[in-house]
Amino acid sequence: MFDIINNYNEEVLELDILEKYVTYVVKKLKLEKAIFNFILVDEEEIHELNKTYRKVDRPTDVITFALEDGDDFQNPEFRTLGDVYICVPIAYKQAEMYGHSRIREICFLATHGILHLLGYDHMEEEEEKVMFSLQEELLKGYEINR
């Protein structure tokens, strides 16, 4: 189960597609017994989160807060994964910069965030190959292409 919370001060036209896409990802990754959230924010809010929790004084495109990193949130009946914050204005800028649609960028960042919640990382070359390959597989599987 997941929620999409729009804290961004403007309408986000891609919400319906994002919801359908994430439902697809939940099925593909067998996360039917998991709880997580997407929070759509502006640059100011994500900048503050990045500065406070990562000690990086700039906005970013996506930031995750994984709850399963600690033993406090272990539950045998369902997984409490955490939150994925996506900065809508940065996602829109990146879509333009990379020459693909806004929905592709929003779904890419959502996928990236979910995988981080599940423990995937891209700090080492081998980890990056695994994570990025799975990202592309999920996006292409839903026909979200560049």
In the prediction, which pLDDT does 70 show? Answer: 58
The type of residue at 139 is L
In the prediction, which pLDDT does 79 show? Answer: 86
**Would the pTM count as exceeding 0.85?**
yes
Task: Please choose, from the candidates 82, 83, 38, 87, the residue with its C-alpha nearest in 3D space to the C-alpha of residue 60.
Answer: 87
The structure tokens 């997407």 sit at: 38
For the chain (length 146 residues), average pLDDT per consecutive 10?
91 88 96 95 97 96 86 70 96 96 96 96 92 96 90
In the prediction, which pLDDT does 146 show? Answer: 79
Find residue 4's DSSP bridge partners: 38
In the prediction, which pLDDT does 109 show? Answer: 97
Q: How far is CA 107 from the centre of its chain?
A: 8
In the prediction, which pLDDT does 88 show? Answer: 97
